[in-house]
Structures are given as C-alpha cells and as structure tokens.
Amino acid sequence: MFANLPLWPDRASNMAGNVDALFIFLLILCGLMCVAIFIMILVFAAKYRRRKGVEAEQIEGSTALELTWSGVPLLIFMGIFAWGAIIYFQERTPPQDSAEIYTVAKQWMWKFQHMEGQREINELHVPVGRDVKMIMTSQDVIHSFYVPAFRIKQDVLPGRYTVAWFRATKAGTYHLFCAEYCGTSHSGMIGSVVVMEPALYEQWLSGGPAAPLPQAGKQLFMSLGCSTCHRLDTQGRGPNLANLYNHPVLLEDGRTIIADDNYIGESILNPAAKLVSGFKPIMPTFQGIISEEQLNALVAYIKSLSQPTEGEAGSRNTPAASPSGQPQTMQVQ
Amino acid sequence: MAAIPLPGAEHENYLNKEYGIRSWLLTTDHKRIALLYLLSITFFFFIGGFFALLIRLELLTPAGDLVQADTYNKLFTMHGQVMVFFFLIPAVPAVLGNFLIPIMIGAKDLAFPRINLLSWYIFIIGGCFMLYTILTGGADTGWTFYTPLSTSFLDTHVVAAAVAIFIAGFSSILTGLNFIVTVHRMRAPGMTWSRLPLFVWANYATSIIQVLGTPVLAITLALVALERLFHFGIFDPQKGGDPLLFQHLFWFYSHPAVYIMILPGMGVVSEIVACFSRKRVFGYKFMALAVIAIAVFGFLVWAHHMFVAGISLYAALVFSLLSYLVAVPSAIKVFNWTATMYKGSISYTTPMLYAFGFIGLFTMGGLTGLFLAALGLDVHVTDTYFVIAHFHYIMVGGMVMAYIGGLHFWWPKISGRMYPESWGRLAALTIFIGFNLTFFPQFILGYLGMPRRYWQYSPEYQVLNVLSTAGSTILAVGYVLPMVYFLWSMRYGKVADENPWGAAGLEWMTASPPPTFNFDETPEVTWEAYNYGEAKEVPVER
C-alpha cells in the first residue's frame, strides 16, 4: 500500500525546479524554527517545572530581545518575499515567441484550440521544450487551470483572457485539475496534459484535418460581415486591423492602450467600452452571438494580421494564415 | 442549566439569583448572556463538526461513493459557513470575552447590557436562517460565495445562507461596539491601559476589526443577494460587471476575519501561560502593541487570497510584501510566550496543556503562512489541501485549542466547580494527537497537488486521506469528552473557591461564581497586570 504513497509531485516543467527550491528552502528554515521553538518550550517546561520552595523569577522583558526577534525575522521575510516575487515574475511573463493555445473552460470541461487547428477536450498535447502560452477564458463561472507537475495555476475568468505559460521538460502524462470550485462536477473537471517528444508531437499534429485557427477566424470575419467595415486595403468605417496587435491605440477618451488579447476580445463583445479615437460607436455587440471558441478564432485571425514585432516572419510559433492555409510546421512532412 | 441546584455555593451569585427560563431569556447580565452564547455556539460547533466528519468519511475512498457530488459540495459549504460565522467568530469574544471583560476591568457589566442581549437575539435569528438553509437542502457556494457561480449558476438556498450570515454579522458588530465602549469608559479606578490584561487588549483589537470589517461583508452579501434576485450585473462580465470585484470585497472582510478568529485566542493563551508559569507575560508592551499591529495590518493584506485570480503583477507584489509585514507581530507573540516560561514555575494543568498545544500548532500554521505569502510558491499550493491544512492549524489548532483551554481555565469561575483534571489532560492529549493526524497529511496532499473541494480524487492521494480521516475520528472523541465532563462537573465537580489557580487578575478576586454585579464594591487597582511576583499563595500541585 505504501508503494502507492507519493511524497513529492512530478517535476515536469522549467518552473518546477524553481518552485521546489524555494519550497525546500522554506521547509528547512521553518522546520528549524519549529524545532527550535518546540525544544525551548519542552526544555523550559521540564527545567522550570513547579517545585516546592522554588519561585518564579519575575522578568519584565527586554527591548533588545524584542527588537532582535522582530528585526531578524523581518529581514528573513524580505528575503523570502524577494525570492517568491522573482519566481512569480517568471511565471507571469511568457516569452515573446511562445506557441499560443487558446483555452475555453466551461462547466465541467476544458477545451483547447491549437493554432494549427487541432481541437481537444480535457486532453492537451504539448511538445517537450517549447514555450507554451495558454490564453484562457471561461464560458460560465470562474475555473482554474492547474497542472501540479508544472507548478502552475491560473484562474480562468468569464469575459476576459488570463494567461499562463510553461515549458514542459519531461515527456509523460500529467494531471490537469480545475482548482477553483465551479459547481457540481468540480472534481470531475479534470484532464491530462500529454507531453511528447517533438518528433512524436509533429506526428500527432499532422493527424488532424482541421484548418489553422487564424484561418477559421478569417472565415468567421468574412461571414459575420466584419470585413465590410474593417477593411484591410483602406480605412473603412471601422479601424483597419492590420498591424493592430501589440501596438498602441489612441482611444476616444484620450487614453492610449496596447492592443492585447483582452482589448481585442473586449472590443468584439463590447465595442463601445474602448472606442478608438475618430470612430463612431456604430459596431454592434457580438456578446451572445459568437461562442468563446469563435471569439478565440477571431482574435487569433486579427493577431495574424500583424507582422511579428521582432521580424521573425514564419517563425515556428506564429503560423500565419498563409495562402495555402497550411501552417509552417505541417510543411515539414 | 438554571434548574441545576448548586449545593455548596451558598453565596448569592449570577446563577442562583433567579431561576426560570424567563430570567435567562430577558437577562442583561453579561455573564448569563455569555452562557447563552456558550450553549448556542456549542450547538453550532457540533453541527459543523458533524458535516466535517461526513466530508472526511466521503474522502476515505477516491471515488465519490458515500454521498452525491452536490451533497458533498453542500457539506463543505455548510461546514465552513457554520464554523466560521456561527462558531469561530463568536467563540472567544461572545463567550469568554462577554463573561470576563467587565470583571477583568472591574466593571459591573458591559457598557450597553441590553444591546448585549440584543446581539444574542440577532445571532439566534441569523442562526435560525442558517438552520433553515441546512434543513431545506443547504447551499453549495463554498463558504466564500464566489461569483458568478453563486449569483447565476446555482439553484440552492444561497440567499437564505447570505441572509443568515448578514444578520449574524450585526451581532458581531454590536458585540465589538460594546467591548470598545466598555474598555474605554468602564475601567475601575487605577485600571490604566497599561494595566489591562492582554486578554482585554486582544478582544479590544478584535472589536475594532469587527466594527470596521463586518459592514463590508454585509454589503457584499447584500450585493450577492440582489444580483441573484434582480441580476443587476455588478459581478457579471456580460453586463459590464466584474467577478473579481466580489473577491476584493469578500476578502476585505474575510481576511481580517481570520484575525477575529485568532486574536482573542492569543489573549486567552497569554493569560494561561502567565498563570501556570507564575510570571508576568514577557514583553507586555510589545504583546499589546502586536495585537493592535495585527488588527491594523490585517486590513491591508486581503488580496493575498487572489494571487492566481487575475490581479495585476504589481498588486500581487504589494500584497505579498504586506503579508510578510503582518507575520512579524505574530512571530513576536510566539517568542514572548516562550520567553514567559523562562525561569517560571510551570505546572502542567489542562489549560496549560492547551496553551502548549496552541503555541505549537499556531507556530506551524503561521510558518506555513510564509509559504503561502511567497508569490511563486503560492501559485502552486493555493486552492489545494496545503491551504486547508494551513488555516485549520490556525483556526482549529490555534483558536479552538485556545477556546477550550480558556473554558477549562475559567470554568471554576463560570460554574463554581472544578472539572476533573485527569480527564481534562486526557482530552487535551486526544485533541492534540487527533488534530495533527487529521491535518498534517493535508500539507503533503496539497504539495502533491490535490485541489480543495474535490468530491472524488486521484487514487495516489488515498493513503494520506485515510490517515486524515482516521485523525478526524480521534479529534471528534477529543471534542466530545470535555462536553461530557463539563456537564458532569456542574453537579459533581469539586466546589471551586475564589481563586483555585492562585492566578492574578481581578476576575480571581471575586467569588466563584461571581455575584450579579461582579464585585461587592468597585475595586481599586494599584498593581500591574500579572503581578505574580507579589506574595500570593501557590496552590499545591493536584
């Protein structure tokens, strides 16, 4: 029975080692602290136990001691804070050229949309060694994307995108849990992350018949009539969306913001929220008209209209909607 | 209780002055109201504990087989709501604080005796709503009521549960208000602020949180109810609302509420450690400052519950930093209790065993808080069993230990009788062992990645869950024991004299049980708190 008693979780991402190192450091530090206090209590309790004729010695206190045992812990705490903050900063900052996977969480399943067009439910295939950025939204309540072996967790909210990223380091199949209580089948909202060697992963990718996500988005863009106002050749009634992604946008109220995933998504669902300077609020809302997955496709398409900022056209991770409709990775075959 | 005769207690006291149900339900005596609270919260404690046992039984096996998923979700929701709002928050303040604060400061009663009674009635009305919620099928929001799940996606008695907690909150506000005014206005001559027992300081700090924080909870729950009934869209992104706004509002109260649930326990432990070490509390001034610091800083750390919720990177940095600052005064307290024992004259009575237990378990709970405040690590362990273990070490290992320890310490004063000492020690040991067996494995489960609020789980987590369930049955026995022998002692216990522990403090300078107005004449205080150095008879070790 005890062979079936793991005491340490799998370590399968670039982040896992960093988190474990801090955890082990804290275990040792706090373990020593605990032992020191317990020993002091036990020693005092034994040494100064009540005896006939021996009275307690009254001691008022000691400012020096108080300052010491406030100041020293404070310094140690600041060190732990900084260490934790550095790891968190890494966890919250996906590398520029990460592969993007759109995720829709709903009661009670996980849906994934790969840029290459593959779609999966409750199972996520990723290759070893590639930076993967999960761009996630929820169709209903708050969920949380949690892969213990990667030591990452990120809540998934309705009405906005949140982001998590990882680089898997070890092939295998790992737990995917929903970590934010989401109703009846919360504990059934589980799945697995399948980490594959790159070659096997390419093979897996090629198995799917689907069109790339930006391509699907382009079809939607046409069929929903977006293209009548958002023209790419010239300035239409709506802003030209070419080279919009990751670039600054001047708003009607004078603010300038960076057009990220959240801004593009919000502008589709609630166009009046952040109106671009010089345009009228004439666009209808698509709230309730398109699904979260269709929204993801649209966002992916609009992002594909922008040149990669570092001039990495055709980079493995940004499969643009090439005329053939085939992503770069598939041409290897 | 009123019907039980008290042979041997010949003097007129608050228990035997009047008899009959009316004399209890219309009383304005803080001591009788404390007993009304004691009965009420004991009732809720056993309801909440029963739910906990069912949760642990379900988790004995990986498959969800004992109860339905929805039932399980209701069990942990009701367990949390009952335990937090109907047991832990009122536990020490409304029972021990109510009974002791006026006596400790040499007053006849609280400043507003009728408001004190009103607070109990409000608590009972809130409690009735809670019972209604439970009996008609319960709510399954989790105790945290997260939106939009609670507002738009559940078809259970969410509004009734919110109303119950909304109402009970006002009882908490009134108690806090009463304590603040009482401590400011009703101190006996010579009872200066620097002579107040630390128990009074702790309850004073708690009262500030109750008065300032609870209204925010009331507003938040009202918004949840309005949102459910009228769909205003405050927390609904489809209508331009924000579900994270709810979390900010909820934790703005509910994090300080954690300190409502632990500060009074710290006060109890200070009294017990001083008494059974026969020493003045080491660093009295720092101890008093520390509780106030915790109460103030406690308001500035709420978003550390939200590091993975989607708040900005920089907000997370600020809240992590502030969380480490609030850890410092907690550390000060642990060091000072330990230092108080140095060169003391220590006896291992039941209350002291609980105090030992409190210091040990609170230390572990506090130190694991350092893990959770570390941003990069919190991402992995938040919303797992690591968090469950952490806050149960604080709330159960800390607060419940302190509360039961305090009940033993002041039982002679409350009832006029001694509890059976050897049974007391046995129960303390049982609770300590049962507690650790229940909750220590959960730290490991959490780091392995088992999420909280899971009805079924992956088989590799089973061994640790079985250990935890085994521990919970031991813990249950440990909690039933004191209830049995306390009841027994009210009739058969040895009659207690005025000061059976040889303790310092005004409450030990009046009869046991105290007369209705606490003192025959208003005492005049000419000594510092914990004047154990001045000649006082040391009781013989029993």
What CATH number has the domain bearing residue A233?
A: 1.10.760.10
> Which residue from B64, B149, B376 is facing A141, i.e. has the nearest CB?
B149
Do B313 and A34 lie within an 8 Å CB cutoff?
no
Q: How far apart are CA A237 and CA A229, in angstroms?
A: 5
DSSP collapsed to 3 states, B475-523:
HHHHHHHHHHHHHHHHHHCCECCCCCCCCCCHHHHCCCCCCCCCCCCCC
What is the domain range of residue A204? 9-38+77-210
| β-strands A191-196, A123-127 pairing | parallel
Q: Is residue B357 part of a domain?
A: yes
Burial class (CB in 10 A: 0-12, 13-18, 19+), B542: exposed
**CB–CB contact A70 B142 (8 Å):** no
Is position B18 within any domain? no
Residue B165, domain extent: 35-509
Q: In terms of domains, do A96 and A199 share one?
A: yes
Q: Which residues pair with A71 in a beta bridge?
A: none
Residue A252 lies in a domain: yes
ipTM of the predicted structure? Answer: 0.92
A128 lies within 8 A of chain B by CB: no
Q: Residue A106: what pLDDT?
A: 94
Predicted confidence band at B10 (pLDDT cuts at 50, 70, 90)?
low
Residue A173: inside a domain: yes
Domain end marker among A210, A232, A253: A210
Q: How many domains does chain A have?
A: 2
Cα of A14 vs its chain's centroid, Å: 14
Q: Tell me, what's the pLDDT at A320? A: 40
Among the candidates A183, A210, A237, a domain finishes at: A210
Same domain membership, residue A295 and residue A261:
yes
Chain A contact for B440 (CB, 8 A cutoff): no
Q: Is residue A47 in some structural domain? A: no
Under a CB-based contact definition with an 8 Å cutoff, are residues A191 and A316 in contact? no
Backbone phi and psi for residue B412, each to the nearest 5 degrees, phi listed first = -55, -35
Give me the number of domains chain B comprises. 1
Query: Do B244 and A57 make contact, defined as CB atoms within 8 angstroms?
Result: no
Domain annotation covers residue B527: no
Angle at B382 between CA B376 and CA B388, to 5 degrees: 140
Residues B194, A6: Cα–Cα separation, whole Å: 53
Q: Which residues of A are less than 8 Å from B240 in CB distance?
A: 270, 273
Q: What is the distance, to the nearest Å, from the Cα of residue A41 to the centroid of all Cα atoms in its chain?
A: 45
Residues A143 and A180: beta-carbon distance below 8 Å: yes
> Is the same domain home to A234 and A136?
no
Establish if A19 belongs to a structural domain: yes
CB A213 within 8 A of CB A114: yes
Instruction: Look up residue A284 and give its amino acid.
Output: P
Contact predicate A168/A191, CB 8 Å: no
The CATH number given to whatever domain includes residue A196 is 2.60.40.420
Tell me whether residue B525 is in a domain: no
pLDDT recorded at residue A312? 41
A-contacting residues in B 324-343 (Cβ below 8 Å): 324-325, 327-328, 331-332, 334-336, 338-339, 341-343
First-to-last alpha carbon distance for chain B, in angstroms, is: 28
Q: Is A25 on the interface with B (CB under 8 A)?
A: no
User: Which of B338, B452, B457 is nearest residue A41 as measured by Cβ atoms?
Assistant: B338
Whether residue B472 is contained in a domain is answered as: yes
Same-domain status, A115 and A190: yes
Chain B contacts in chain A segment 107-126 (CB below 8 A): 107
* A21 in the same domain as A160: yes
Q: How many CB atoms lie within 10 A of CB B311?
A: 17
CB pairs under 8 A between A and B: 284
- Distance from C-alpha of A322 to C-alpha of A304, rounded to nearest angstrom: 10
- Same domain flag for A242 and A323: yes
Query: How confident is the model over B67-84, as pLDDT tens digits?
Result: 999 999 999 999 999 999
Query: CB of B37 within 8 A of CB of B119?
Result: no
CA–CA–CA angle B61, B439, B73 (5° rounding): 50
SS3 B59: coil
Measuring CA to CA, how many Å separate A108 from each of A90, A135, A187, B237? 29, 18, 9, 20
Contact B12, B515 (CB under 8 A): yes
Q: What are phi and psi of A114, to 5 degrees?
A: -80, 150
CATH number, domain of B487, equals 1.20.210.10
Pull the structure tokens for residue B161: 């549960």
Report pLDDT digits (tens) over B409-461.
999 999 999 999 999 999 999 999 999 999 999 999 999 999 999 999 999 99
The mean pLDDT values, 10 residues at a time, for chain A of 333 residues are: 75 95 96 95 92 84 91 95 96 92 95 91 95 95 96 95 96 96 95 95 81 88 88 82 89 90 90 87 88 90 76 40 37 31
Residues A168 and A31 in one domain: yes
Within-domain flag for A217: yes
Measured between CB atoms, does B533 come within 8 Å of chain A? yes
- For residue A187, being part of any structural domain is answered with yes
